Amino acid sequence: MNRIKQLFQEKKNILSIYYTAGYPNTGDTIKIAEALEKSGADMLEIGFPYSDPVADGPVIQASSKQSLDQGMTLNLLFEQLKDLRKNVTIPVLLMGYVNPVLQFGVENFCKACAEVGVDGCIVPDLPMVEYEEFYKGYFEEHNLSNVFLITPQTAVERIHKIDGLTNGFIYLLSSSATTGKNLEVGDTTETYFGRIKDMNLKNPTMIGFGISDKQTFDKACTYANGGIIGTAFVKAIENGDLEESVNAFMKKFKA
Amino acid sequence: MILIMGNIIKFIVVGFNRRIDKKDMKYKVNEKGYYGDFGGAYIPEMLYPNVEELRQNYLKIIDDADFQKEFHQLMKDYVGRPSPLYLAKRLSERYGANIFLKREDLNHTGAHKINNTIGQILLAEKLGKKRIIAETGAGQHGVATATVCALRNLECVIYMGEVDIERQAPNVARMKMLGAKVVPASSGSKTLKDATNEAMRDWINNPVDTHYIIGSVVGPHPYPDMVAIFQSIISEETKKQLITQTGNDQPDYVLACVGGGSNAMGMFYHFMDDENVKLIAVEAAGKGVSSGFSAATTYLGKEGVLHGSRSILMQTPDGQVVEPHSVSAGLDYPGIGPQHAHLFKTGRGQYVSITDEESLDAGLLLTQLEGIIPAIESAHALAYLEKMEFKGGENVVICLSGRGDKDLDTYIKYFNL
């Protein structure tokens, strides 16, 4: 069984961490994955960097740029990920923009993911229509989940369509925003989260964008199967000893 | 006579109904938002509701009689259209062909960009938007956007690359006078591509009350089609003017410069289905196509996705967008609109390139032969005349997309004036 499905069957309050591959240093990709699993992360989203990340705020933009400047490519990432499953057992997704995937070849990309033990992908600018018409087959052939995003503005019919098309989890954006904005859970957000919860979707949901501490994470867990942290984590590992930074960051969520 | 009548009838049809029949669809957008292999809407979910709202409404709004009336009224009284089609005699003598300049440089704000911003601001009003954002390269689109925002009393934020803010200072001052907030884009190459990224990020963060006026025929569907429709007034008028001046609405050649490609698409639009009219799109070679400092997208690029549509873009084998170079800020873009990619791939359009130096020389030449200082962008199209061979008597239309006032500093430096 796909590791993602298994995780959601077995666990509640799932903590998923996003980080940019090859940041702060090119060789850190696997080290971070191992440190995160050791310190209690339930799932990982490894970002493959892109030169023009329009959905990202300044922190993830900067990490992407640094990673690219240091020589990261999709080819190099898959080379690094050959060591992924030596010590990492939790589900791992790759997250990034569609153009590098298209240049790599979608079929090759799916095959490479499966070979290194990646369980799913999040490609926010890959349209649902194109996915369904051209690429779904490759994802299914390699047992990969493809995760879609929804925002407070996503229409109900579209949410149902996404629920029918995906097979891992649905990524609930707390608001329409680039990454790194603070989560302000007001009445409208609560209504939206509540509305999604009441829809009884077949897929589990994870809330992302704007979760940075225990309080916002716990809030996310009351409405969804868990929360995703990106910007706050990327910022936390910018300087200093990598393993110590990861441990210190994760400790905040285990209290 | 019959031929002329035929052309007149055809013109009337073209002028009043964009969607004539099936054969007209060969180079136009299909129902899925594609031009052949290119186009689509490759956007994150955060942008979907906005883009979908536009997609569902843009044709309905544009085709509405009241909208058309207001649009054409403003085009006439505010922009100063129709822009003249000027037979440049001394230029014609030099090259041995009848060279007509479509004088978009005479529009209010000095370029073709205003055609699109008037159209989009009226559309934004119909959609109930209160806040307008835009990207700009040379500053022409920024000025045109700030202008219509002043005209219609809407809040205006313009994103502009730091490098462009530096080299297009007069336009920055204009935008500020017009009441716009100019926000520097400091990522990447600090030019048009990065300004576009910042504008998209703004739109993601302001999903309800904001309309993004994209200035070129790029972006997710329906932007390339919408911008092309607003700019198509250029070729609509040109056809009418050609009939009056030459008796034939079909010239031998139509030329325009291409960055993202909005003036070229406006200039090509009503000629696309006249297969005997040769369409020549001139890209910026920068310091030379092989110099590593170029914006010649069709020569250097590959198929991929940039700013929401599948097109041709300059990129590394890993799919990272390459930073372009051109002396002209308006052509300093690593992609082209999807419809251009389609014209290029099908061979309907010929895509060529001109270096920084060739364009500046052509700008000076036009100034001295005709008393018109062109924008450096438009000078790229003029420069290609040097590379063409004429038998004599051919009719050539060049889109003079903008005036050169904003480029004086660059001209002064290059020619030691």
Flag whether pLDDT at B6 surpasses 60: no
Among chain A residues, CA nearest to B44:
A125
Closest-CA distance of chain B to residue A63, Å? 12
- Residue A26 resides in a domain: yes
The answer to whether the beta carbons of residues B44 and A52 sit under 8 Å apart is: no
Instruction: Kindly state the DSSP code that residue B135 receives in the 8-state scheme.
Output: E
Nearest CA of chain B to the CA of A242: how many Å? 27
Pick among A176, A178, A188 to test the B interface (most B CBs inside 10 A): A176
What is the nearest CA distance from A44 to chain B, expressed in angstroms?
Answer: 21
Token pair in block for residue B128: 């109930």
Cross-chain residue pair A176–B188, CB shorter than 8 Å: no
Give per-residue pLDDT as tens, A58-75.
899 999 999 999 999 999
Probe site for chain B from A66, A99, A188 (most B CB atoms < 10 A): A99
| Chain mean pLDDT for chain B | 93
Q: Do A125 and B43 touch (CB under 8 A)?
A: yes
Query: What confidence category does residue B262 fall into, taking pLDDT thresholds of 50, 70 and 90?
Result: very high
Residue of chain B minimizing CA distance to A181: B205
Q: What is the rounded CA–CA span in Å between residue A170 and residue B5?
A: 61
**Which residues in B have their CB inside 8 Å of a CB on A?**
32, 40-46, 48-49, 187-188, 193, 197, 200-201, 204-205, 207-208, 302-308, 315, 317-321
pLDDT of residue B11: 44
Separation in Å, CA of B321 to nearest CA in chain A: 6
Residue A139 in contact with partner chain B when CB distance is under 8 A: no
Who has greater pLDDT, A178 or B275? B275
Q: CB distance B308–A65 less than 8 Å?
A: no
Interchain proximity B318–A103, CB inside 8 Å: yes
Tell me if A30 is assigned to some domain: yes
Per-residue pLDDT, averaged over B204-215, amounts to 94
Q: Which chain B residues contact residue A52 at CB under 8 A?
A: 188, 193, 197, 306-307, 321
Whether B319 sits inside 8 A of A104 (CB atoms) is yes
**A157, part of any domain:** no
Rounded-to-integer distance, Cα B40 and Cα B42, Å: 6
Phi/psi of residue B367, each to 5°? -60, -45
Which pLDDT score is estimated for B33? 96
- pLDDT tens profile B152-203: 999 999 999 998 898 788 899 999 999 999 999 988 778 888 999 999 999 9
Across the range B261-283, mean pLDDT stands at: 98
Identify the pLDDT of residue B360: 98
Instruction: Tell me if A144 is assigned to some domain.
Output: yes
Domain coverage including residue A29: 13-148+212-247
A218 part of a folded domain: yes
CA angle, corner A29, sides to A28 and A31, nearest 5?
Answer: 60
* Number of domains within chain A: 1
Q: What mean pLDDT is predicted for residues B225-246?
A: 98
Instruction: Flag if B204 and A73 touch (Cβ within 8 Å).
Output: no
pTM of the model: 0.94
Structure tokens at A18: 């996003």
Q: Is A181 on the interface with B (CB under 8 A)?
A: yes
For the CA atoms of B21, B24, B26, B27, the dihedral, rounded to the nearest 10 degrees, stands at -140
Give, in degrees to the nearest 5, the angle at Cα B303 between B297 and B305: 95
Å between B314 CA and nearest CA of chain A: 12
In angstroms, the separation between the Cα of residue A126 and the nearest Cα of chain B is: 6
Whole-number pLDDT of residue A184: 65
In a domain, A217, yes or no: yes
Residue B414 has pLDDT above 50, yes or no: yes
Say if residue B1's pLDDT is above 60: no
pLDDT value of position A178 = 84
* Residue ranges, chain A, pLDDT below 50: none
B94 band by pLDDT with thresholds 50, 70 and 90: very high
Q: The domain that contains A227 carries what CATH number?
A: 3.20.20.70
Residue of A nearest to B221 (CA): A127
Contact A78/B at CB under 8 A: no
Query: What's the burial of A27, exposed, middle or buried (CB within 10 Å: 0-12/13-18/19+)?
Result: exposed
Instruction: Tell me the pLDDT tens digit for each residue of A203-218.
Output: 999 998 788 889 889 9
A61 touches chain B (CB under 8 A): yes
A56 is catalytic: yes
Band of pLDDT at residue B279, cut at 50, 70 and 90 = very high
Nearest residue of chain A to residue B303 (CA atoms): A103
Cβ within 8 Å of residue B125, ≥6 positions away: B152, B154
Put simply, the answer to whether B46 touches A177 (Cβ < 8 Å) is yes
A155:B49 CB<8 A: yes
Q: Residue A177: CB partners within 8 Å, gap ≥ 6?
A: A209, A210, B46, B204, B205
Q: Judge whether residue B4 has pLDDT over 70.
A: no
How many angstroms separate the CA atoms of A231 and A209, rounded?
A: 8
Longest dimension (CA), chain B: 59
Cβ A55–B193 below 8 Å, yes or no? Answer: no
Nearest chain B CA: its distance from A171 CA (Å) = 10
Catalytic residue status for A163? no
Q: What was the pLDDT predicted at B167?
A: 79
Task: Pick A209 or B237 by higher pLDDT.
Answer: B237
pLDDT tens digit string along B9-24?
444 444 444 444 445 5
- In this complex, do B42 and A50 lie within 8 Å of one another by their Cβ atoms? no
pLDDT tens readout for residues B114-135: 999 999 999 999 999 999 999 9
Q: Do A151 and B42 touch (CB under 8 A)?
A: no
The share of chain B scoring above pLDDT 90, in percent, equals: 87
On the question of pLDDT at B40 being above 50, the answer is yes
Per-residue confidence (pLDDT) for residue B14, from 0 to 100: 41
ipTM of the complex: 0.94
Provide the annotated active-site residues of B. Answer: 113, 135, 401
Q: Residue A220: inside a domain, yes or no?
A: yes
Position A92 in a domain: yes
Q: Using CB atoms within 10 Å of the CB of residue A9, give its burial: 0 to 12 exposed, 13 to 18 middle, 19+ buried.
A: exposed
Q: What 3-state DSSP class applies to A129?
A: helix
Cβ within 8 Å, pair A100-B49: no
A:B CB pairs within 8 Å: 106
Across the range B232-244, mean pLDDT stands at: 98
